[in-house]
A = this chain, B = another copy of it.
């Protein structure tokens, strides 16, 4: 507050107010789905564990990039949510990467507590039965 005291003729407002919109150079790289959203893959920054998938519109991405706290658009509730605001399980953002076609983000975070509302560390808890594929060995297909 010190810089606003006893100043009769303030110069241009300082500090700069936060930008009201996502950097247009970033916005131009996004390929949004029919609902205006991009997918955000969230992983623990040091272990690489994939924690959850959430959704962002431009404003959620702007808040994430400018606050250091992962912020999403809730498709079910129709509102922004700072992950952890109700649970305390915040995600402190370490880096954010955009994919080659602009429709997905990889958000590396320091996850406080479990990522999932079920109490599990990761939301990906239901294993589906699958046929396991195998890379052909170098000798496969060669006459023996």
Contacts and interface: CB of A to CB of B under 8 A. Distances in A.
Copies of the polypeptide in the assembly: 2
Interface in A9-53: 26, 29, 33-35, 39, 41, 43, 47-50, 52-53
B43 A127 contact: no
A123 B100 contact: yes
Contacts of A123: 99-101, 104
A125 B105 CA distance: 10
Interface of A: 26, 29, 33-35, 39, 41, 43, 47-50, 52-53, 64-69, 75-76, 90-101, 103-106, 109-110, 112, 116-118, 120, 123-135
17 contacts: A33-B33, A41-B41, A43-B50, A47-B48, A65-B131, A67-B131, A68-B133, A90-B135, A91-B133, A93-B130, A93-B132, A100-B117, A100-B123, A100-B125, A109-B133, A110-B133, A112-B135
